[in-house]
Amino acid sequence: MCGRPWWDGQGWDFGPIPQKLPKPKSEEWITRLQEILALEKLSKVQYERDSSKYHTPMPYMMVIPQEDNHIRWISQLFSGYGVPPDEKTFVHQQQ
């Protein structure tokens, strides 16, 4: 894709997320990032259920690893910010 070697054989490799980042100044931004993390987790669960229920590997075999990457990267952002990823509040509001 685009002539760049992003695939490392296990996941997309866009470089490391720093372990220390300045905490975002906007609480709204943090809240929205928590909402995104919750949605990524919900999406992954839904895709796994659909794939299992309907015995359909595609497109799930491509999408589920992408969700894993998103969850890992967003979690690393929270870790770098020193902020807990408290997405549970959003998940319960959506159910």
Q: How many residues does the chain have?
A: 95
Note the pTM of the prediction, 2 decimals: 0.75
In which domain, by residue range, is 87 found? 27-94
Is 87 inside any structural domain?
A: yes
The pLDDT tens digits of the residues spanning 18-29 come to: 899 999 999 999
Question: Angle at the Cα of 1 (from 75 to 19), degrees rounded to 5?
Answer: 25
Is 13 inside any structural domain?
A: no
The pLDDT tens digits of the residues spanning 28-82 come to: 999 999 999 999 999 999 999 999 999 998 888 999 999 999 999 999 999 999 9
Is pLDDT at 11 greater than 80 in this prediction?
Answer: no
Is 17 inside any structural domain?
A: no
> What is the number of structural domains in the chain?
1
In angstroms, the CA 61 to CA 47 distance is 9
